[in-house]
Structure 1
Amino acid sequence: MGNERRLLTLAICLVLGGGLIAAVLGASRAAGPHAGAADGRPVASDYVDIRDVLRLPAAAPAPGSEGSAGSMVVDCGRNEQGHYNEDNLVVSPGLLGGAHHTHAYVGNLSTDALSTEASLDAAATSCAGGDRSTYYWPVLRRPDRPGTRPHEDSAGHGNVGEIVPESSVLVEFRGNPVSKVVPMPRFLRAMTGDAVAYTAADESDVRARWGCSGSPDRATTRYPRCPAGERVTRTLVFPSCWNGLDTVGVTHRSHLLFTAANGVCPKDTFPVPELRVSLAYEIPPGLNVALDSFPEQRHSPKTDHAMFVNAMTDRQMAAVVDCINEGRVCRT
C-alpha cells in the first residue's frame, strides 16, 4: 500500500511538473523576441546606437538618359494644426477608431475614416500650394510622460504617453532612374510599411528606416540612439509602380508595387512619382521612445508605416510629373 501511495505521489508530481514546464515554454513562445516585455513596451534590443549601424551601400544608380532625375517638394508644414485621430482611411475606410492607434497628418485637414472623394476635394489643406492630398503616419510617444491632451489618451490599447511633435516634415516626389514617370490617378490610395511586422511570417513588407540627422549614410529598422544635438529621423518611401487600372488595391498593396533594385518596375506596371516622407524629432539622448501600434505588435520599430491619398488636381499632378521628367528641382 505504501508503494502504491509513493507511485501515485510521483505521478502527480510529474504531471504538475510537466504542466508547469509547458506553461513556461508557452509563455516564452507567446512573448517571442520581446520575452520579458510584459507591459508590451519596447525592450533594450529594440534600440541601437547609430554608431553601431553599418553604413549604407552605394546609392542607387544615377538616372540614365531615359530616366527622370527631378524632384518636387510639397510644403505641407509639420502638423501645426494638431490633426490627429485613430482612423485609417486607406486600410479601414468608414470605421471610426479602426486604426487602434493614433495617426498624425499633414495636407488635407478634414481626413478621417468617413472622408470621401467629395469631402477631400472640398476641404482646406495645410499645403502651401493647395495640394489637398492626405499624408499620415503613426505618432511617436514618450512613455515616460503621461499624455494630457484628448488625442494622447484616446487611442488606448497600450498606446500611452506624450506625443512627440515632428520638428520637421519633408514631403517629396522623386523620379525613376530608368524611365519617365506618368501621372498618378486622382484619389489613388497608397501605403508603405507593415503595421503587423512584429507577428508577420516574414519581413518582406518592412520599409521602416530610422536614423539620425548627423548620419545620413546609416539606416536601421530599430530605434536609433543619436548623439546629443542630433535629431531622430524616420524615412517612409512609397511604392511607385502602378498597375494602370486601380486606385484601391484588394490588399491595399496589389495596385502599387516597389521597383527592383535597379529601378525597373514589375511587368504590367508603370512608374509614377515616388513619394518619400521624411520626419525628424527632437529626442533627448537615452530616452526610450515608442511608436504607436496594435497591442500585439508591442510598439516594434519595424511596424512603422504611412498612408497617402492623392487629391491633387490634374493640373497639380501634371506640374509634379513635368518637373520630375525634365530633371528640375521644384517646390510648391
Structure 2
Amino acid sequence: MLGGGGLVAANVYASATEGWGDGSGTNGTGQVLSAGMATIDCPDVGSRLTAVPDAARPDVDRELALLDRQTAEAYHRLQQSGQTGAADSGSVEDTIVNPLKEQRAAAIGRIADAIDRAGERPQGLDALAACTLRPGGAGTGAGAQSSAAPTQSAQPGGAGQGGNGPVVSDYADITSVPPEAANPPQQSGASRGSFASDCGVNANGLRNSDNVIVAPGVSNGAHHFHDYVGNQGNSAFASDDDLAKAGTSCVDQGDRSTYYWPVLRLQNGTQERDAGSPGGGTEGNAGQIVTPKQVTLTFVGNPRDKVTAMPRFLRIITGDAKAFVNGPGNANASWSCTGYENRQLKDKYPLCPPGSDVVRTFKFQSCWDGRNIDSANHRTHVAFTAPDGSCPAGFQAIPQLVQRIVYDVKAPSLQDGGRTAPLFAVDSFPEQLHKPVTDHGDFINVFDEDLMRQMVDCINSGRTCGPDGGDSGTTASPTASSGSGATAAPGSGTTQQPGDTATPTSAPAPSTAQPSEEPRTDATTTPDRTTTPDRHTTAPDDGSGSTKQDHTTKRDHTTKQDRSTPPAPPTPTSAPTRSGAAQPQPSRSASAQATPAGYVPPAAAQPQAQGTQGGLAETGAHLWPAALGTLLALSGLIMLLRARRLRY
C-alpha cells in the first residue's frame, strides 16, 4: 500500500510540473527557469541608415525586411539545434552563424548598391554583416555578446508557449518599484490643454504581422502581430491615399490616424488561428491574444512652449522592437498597474496586486524637425524633449501622443512557471525573446486638417477636449496645488501632469520626463507616399494556407460607427501563404481602396486547446506509473482486510 501510494504521488507531482510543449516555464524536470535563452544578436542595419535617397527607398526597405527574415530563420534553426542536443559552439558557428553572415553580407551589399545608384554610397555597412550568438542569461546591450554555446535555456521546455520566452526574471512586483520623481514645473508659455480621441479597443480584431512604416510592401514585415485601432485600412501595402480613404474606428470620423502596437498574449496553452502562420505561432508568438479592457489616446502639450500642428501622414515610432539586442538607447516601454501608475517599469512586466489591471503606456516623441514626415531610420525627423521640456535646436513642439492600454490579466504564478496563472507577454521578433523592453508603439497622423487645428487650439488654450469636438470648457490653471503645473485630466475631475493620460484610478500620475535624445540632422526628404503605386492586398489570415488577391473591390468606410455596440467582425476569407520575402507587386491605381490584411477571428471562434502536446492520449501515456501504483495500493488494501478477517 505504501509503495503504491508513493508511486502515485511521485507520478502526479511529476505530471504537474511537466510543461505543455514549449510553453511550460520549466526545464522538463519541474525546475522553473529564470535565466534568459540563447539568441542571435545581429547589428540593426536600418537604424544606421540616416540618409537614403528617395529613389532607393523601395529597394532598401525590401532588403531590410529580408535581413529581419534571415535573422528569424537563423534563430529558428538555433532553437531546433537546442532541441536535438546539437547546439555545441562549433556546430552552431558552422551551421547557423557563418551562413547567416554570408546571407546578410549579400543583402547589405544590395542596400549599398541601391543607395549608390541614387546618391552617395554609404560607408561601413559591411561591418554590420556579422552576428553573434548570445548565450542564455546575457544582459541587454551591445556589450553582452559571445560565441559560447547555448545554456540550458536553449533546450526543450525553455519558457513561454512559443519556446522563446518570457521567463520568470522578466517580471517584477509593482509594489516594490519606487515612485517616480515629480514633474518639472511648467513655464509661463506652456501649452496646458489636452485632446482625447476615442477609437475603441480593437473589439473587431483587426490584426496582422505587417508594418507599413518600417517594411512597406512586404507581408509579415514585423514578424509579430499588431493590434490596430483607428484607421481600418492598415496593411503593408496601404499608401497614404489608401489611409486617407479608409474607415476609422474613432468616434470622431475626422481622426483616421492609425495607432498600433504588439498584441499581448496569455501563455496558457491555447492557440489562436494564427498558430500556424508566419508572425504568429511559427515564429514563437503563441498563446491567447488579449483584447484590451481600455485604450485611451490623449494628445497633450509642452511644459515650455505652444505646440504646432502635426503634418498629415507624419510617422512616429516610439520604443525599439529590437532593444534586447540593440541595447536600451531607443527603448521606451513603460509598464505599471492601475492604482500604482506613479511607479513605472521599463524592462519588466508588472506583477499587479489582486484587483489591479496591467497598464502599458507609450509616450511618443513630441518634437518635429519641421520638414519631414518620415526619415530613413524612422527616428531622426522627430525627437524627445529634454527633461525641462525643451526641443533640440531646429525642432518645434507638436502635440504629444500618450497611449494608455489597460488589460484585465492576473499576475502570473511564477512559482510553477505560469501553470496556475499563465505568463503574459507581448509579441516580438522571435530572437527578441518577448522581452518587455522591446515593447513599442506606432502612429501615422491622418487627422483632418480642421480637426488638427482644433486639437492645437484646444491644447494651446489650456482646455480639455474630447471626441466629436467635445470641449469641457475648463481651462487648466497655471498654478496647480502641487506646484508642478498639473492640468485637469479629461473627464476625471482630478489633476494631471503634462504628458500623462486620464487615469480612472486614484493613483498619482507618472512622471512626464522623457529620455533625452541628441539632436540629429536629417536632410532627407520623404517621398510623397500618396503617389506610390499601390499593390495587391492580402486577405485576412485564417490559417488555411490558400491565397486570395483582391484588385477590384472597394469597401465603403464613410458611415460612422455605432459606438453603442462593438462592430461585427467581417467574415474571414482565404489566407495567403506568407513567406516574409519581398515579392514583385503588380501596380494598380493609387485611388483603389486596399482591403485590410488582418487576422480577423469570427465572432463564434474561440481559442482551441493546444493539440501538439499535453493531449489526453499523451497524458494517459505519462500516467501509467500512477495506474500501477493505484493497483498496488488496492491489492495491499485487499490483502490487509483478508489478513484481519483470518486473524479474528
Query: Are 2:47 and 1:47 equivalent residues in the alignment?
Result: no
Distance 2:275 2:379 in 1: 29
1:291 aligns with 426
Distance 1:57 1:271 in 2: 23
Which of the two has greater strand per residue? 1
**Partners of 1:137 and 1:305 within 8 A in 2:** yes
**Partners of 1:152 and 1:161 within 8 A in 2:** no
Distance 2:434 2:153 in 1: 11
Distance 1:36 1:231 in 2: 33
Match of 2:446 among 311, 314, 320: 311
TM-score, normalization by structure 2: 0.46
1:71 aligns with 194
TM-score, normalization by structure 1: 0.89
1:102 aligns with 225
Query: Are 2:376 and 1:250 equivalent residues in the alignment?
Result: yes
Q: Describe the superposition over 1:31-53 as per-residue Cα deviations: whole angstroms up to 9, x where unpaired.
A: 24386433311111100011111
1:62–1:329 CA distance, 2 compared to 1 (3 A): farther
Q: What aligned pairs does 1:146-295 form with structure 2 within 5 A after superposition?
A: 146-150=270-274, 154-155=278-279, 156-200=282-326, 202-221=327-346, 222-286=348-412, 287-295=422-430
**Higher Cα Rg: structure 1 or 2?**
2
2:464 aligns with 329
Query: Are 2:162 and 1:57 equivalent residues in the alignment?
Result: no
State the Cα distance separating 1:174 from its structure 2 match: 0.5
1:136 aligns with 260
Distance 2:318 2:269 in 1: 29
Distance 1:318 1:255 in 2: 21
% of aligned pairs identical?
Answer: 42
Query: Are 2:156 and 1:37 equivalent residues in the alignment?
Result: no
Q: Greater RCO between the two (CA within 8 Å, min separation 6)?
A: 1
State the Cα distance separating 1:238 from its structure 2 match: 0.6
| 3-state secondary structure, aligned to 2:457 | helix
Match of 1:301 among 426, 436, 448: 436
1:152–1:184 CA distance, 2 compared to 1 (3 A): farther
1:11 aligns with none
1:15 aligns with none
Distance 1:211 1:64 in 2: 29
Q: Describe the superposition over 1:273-295 as per-residue Cα deviations: whole angstroms up to 9, x where unpaired.
A: 00111001011232310110011
**Partners of 1:170 and 1:279 within 8 A in 2:** yes
**Partners of 1:103 and 1:138 within 8 A in 2:** yes
Which of the two has greater helix per residue? 2
Q: Describe the superposition over 1:219-270 as per-residue Cα deviations: whole angstroms up to 9, x where unpaired.
A: 0021000011110000011101000010011110010000001100001000
**Partners of 1:70 and 1:329 within 8 A in 2:** yes
Distance 2:309 2:434 in 1: 35
1:89 aligns with 212
1:13 aligns with none
- The one-letter amino acid of 2:436's match is P
1:53–1:80 CA distance, 2 compared to 1 (3 A): same
**Partners of 2:220 and 2:278 within 8 A in 1:** no
Runs of 4+ in 1 over 4 A off after TM superposition: 20-24, 26-29, 150-154
Distance 1:37 1:50 in 2: 26
- Unpaired stretches in structure 1, ≥5 consecutive residues: 1-19
**Partners of 1:186 and 1:312 within 8 A in 2:** yes
Q: Describe the superposition over 1:288-332 as per-residue Cα deviations: whole angstroms up to 9, x where unpaired.
A: 101100111000000000100001111111011000000001101
- The one-letter amino acid of 2:240's match is E
| 3-state secondary structure, aligned to 1:183 | coil
1:17 aligns with none
- Unpaired stretches in structure 2, ≥5 consecutive residues: 1-86, 94-131, 140-150, 155-162, 413-421, 468-648
| 3-state secondary structure, aligned to 2:260 | strand
State the Cα distance separating 1:141 from its structure 2 match: 0.5
**Partners of 2:275 and 2:286 within 8 A in 1:** no
State the Cα distance separating 1:204 from its structure 2 match: 1.4
Tell me how many residue pairs correspond in the alignment.
Answer: 311
- The one-letter amino acid of 1:105's match is Y
| 3-state secondary structure, aligned to 1:324 | helix
Tell me which moved more, 280-289 or 145-154.
Answer: 145-154
1:126–1:22 CA distance, 2 compared to 1 (3 A): closer
1:118 aligns with 241
Distance 1:217 1:96 in 2: 39
